[in-house]
Structure 1
Amino acid sequence: MAELSQTFPLQRVDCSLPLLHQGLPTSFSHSDIFWIAPDAEQNPSSDPTGSGTARTLSFSGLNFSKDTDQNECVKVPQKGDQISQHYHLRPSLLADVQPVAQSLGFLPGTVYVLSGLVFRKCLISPHTLPVFHETLFICTVNKGSEGHYIQMLMDSIKNSLCSLLQSDAHITLNLSEMEVGTYETTELNDFVTSKPQHNKSQYFICVKTASYPSAKGSCVGTIAAAPSGLVNNDLGTVFASVNLDLLAMQVCGIPDWRMLWTLDERFLNQFGKGELRSFKSFSLYPPSYVHDVSFWVPEPEQFDETAFHTVARRVSQETVVSIQLLDTFQHPQTGQTSLCYRLTFQSCDKALTHQQVAEMQMRFREEIQQCLHVLLR
């Protein structure tokens, strides 16, 4: 924010933003959304969106329940359903931009800053986060000048990242123009991927350091023109979305996103008073355990791998660090398809026992059979 304020008039939005939204989001796949069904019996007059005075809510849809289909924790509402009874955790702060803009009256050329938690279902990986802190920089501009403002945002953010990462001698900042959908990395699940307007560019903010020396680096954000009419039909809109959790991992050399959520004092004491410094691992060789699971799927094209990973996250309490597809087999007579996956269990801040992992594996087998309608082998 300090860096951008040198180039743009800047205003931070400090109003409360709702965690829950009602209805069907249009910019994200339904299978990537955390759906929630309020318990009407326990909350007859509550307001789950957070706009009212209710503070305590009970949700029946946080866990898989009988009201499921094979892709979702809570059955996705369809046309004709009572949409008012369905809510989802916000997958992006872009969902809050329009009501905030109407309330504040966005001034053209001023960058407004929104920050908060967002939630997305995603495949399991050390660098893909089901919940993370997003900072959104958004600005309304005259139509036709979007490219100029995107370039200004790129320059300011690049200068800011260089300042944050200046102690690392192997920094490569790659803000590259790409066609939407051609840059297939799991990291991009953590960003707004709404399509830019016609003839407008979308850029991914990629950072490569000694801590993350992969060829593509780590993508910590995106810069693009927002969908037409998001804020004002007469003006264009540009935005930059930054994943603060991934950026913190880069700055401090933290290898696993789960460490950002630990309550272990050995971690917290390294960052007293909010100081950014290099992380020193206190668990060099945490034990890991490998378990395989095989099952028949009703229809291969209908099997939702994201939902499969989501069940693993929940059952294992985030101790599954890797899921690999080992084998696919089709029965020559029945035509049924069987999948075999390998799960690796490992905690980031404590030692798991054989018994703990065995119990989680058995529970996982039961859950995927009930929730994803597979037949265990």
Structure 2
Amino acid sequence: MLNVLLFVAGLVALVGGAELLVRGASRLALSFGISPLVVGLTIVAFGTSAPEMAVSAGAVLGGQTDLAVGNVVGSNIFNVLFVLGISALIAPLVVHRQVIRQEVPILIGASLLLAVLSLDGRLTLFDGALLLGLLIAYTVFLIVQSRRETRADAAQASAGGAATPSEYDAEFQAPRPGAWDARLPVQLVLILVGLGLLVLGSNWLVTAAVAFATALGVSDVVIGLTIVAAGTSMPEVATSIAAAIKGERDIAVGNAIGSSTFNILGCLGLSGLLAGGAGLIVPQALLAFDIWVMVAVALACLPIFLTGREIARWEGGVFLGYYVAYVGYLILAAQSHAALPAFSNVMMGFVVPLTVVTLVVVLIRRPAGTQAH
């Protein structure tokens, strides 16, 4: 019971810390004239992925490297299958062309890179530096891209074609000159308190997760792939569901995809550096199965997104169904259950091929007019 309370307290601290960090950092950035778009793509993305980074870093410092890697891999699978799945059930999610042409290919590339770097069974100090370097390059790219789009929007506005800002955009509108200067200390306090809660929450969550693994007789990897991954992804769940309810469907999709990219490049990059010369050990179980599930899930986004450039409710149901099947497989495998072979045969011999055939038929039959967005 004590470990359950510790886990819940850690989860609450992580979610609360991420919220305070996002609020404080976004307002602080706006006070220095950084555009709302850049704030959304960088600081907000970092904020929703901060629990994963805190838990992975805390796990490495505590010696539970299996939990660090499993948390990131499990969170990425959770982000796509569960977060997008449940958001699509609320309202069909329109997928912007930029997500298909840029964000998903970047996620696929990052997933494949992680798989390749992990083939030797560890993420070295160089691998961690490479991943973090790519994150910095990606962030700079987003800033340059947003400046171009800002200039284009300004030109459109001057021509009388300004668009009405959305509710989400209005939340991050730049303040009047000097309006935020007096509140800078408040924003700094929010950032410091948010970071403190993230550190504290990650320690509680890791401690409870290790106790769960010991009590249930399963590995740290399985706990990281399931309980910890779902727990640290709560900010993504809350953000995407709220965006779907408000009709901000691009945000719901972009949040899940962008956070997954940040998890690989940022969380594992930092964890690899913290592991030092010994490197970050990648468990054999992850190499044999879960990392490739993560890659397959990222690849699965393209055909589903291309079926009319939206995630329909039935496709959201497919995503959720696959996540339930994935967790079921992990539980059966951890217990060496006798039903595992039959379960695997049904999934690989019937369910997966049927899903692929259905997607191909829908993609072929989709009228050309529905492809424009």
**TM-score under structure 2 normalisation?**
0.26
The structure richer in helix per residue is: 2
Q: Flag the structure with more relative contact order, 1 or 2, with Cα contacts below 8 A and sequence separation at least 6.
A: 2
Larger CA Rg, structure 1 vs 2 = 1
**TM-score under structure 1 normalisation?**
0.26
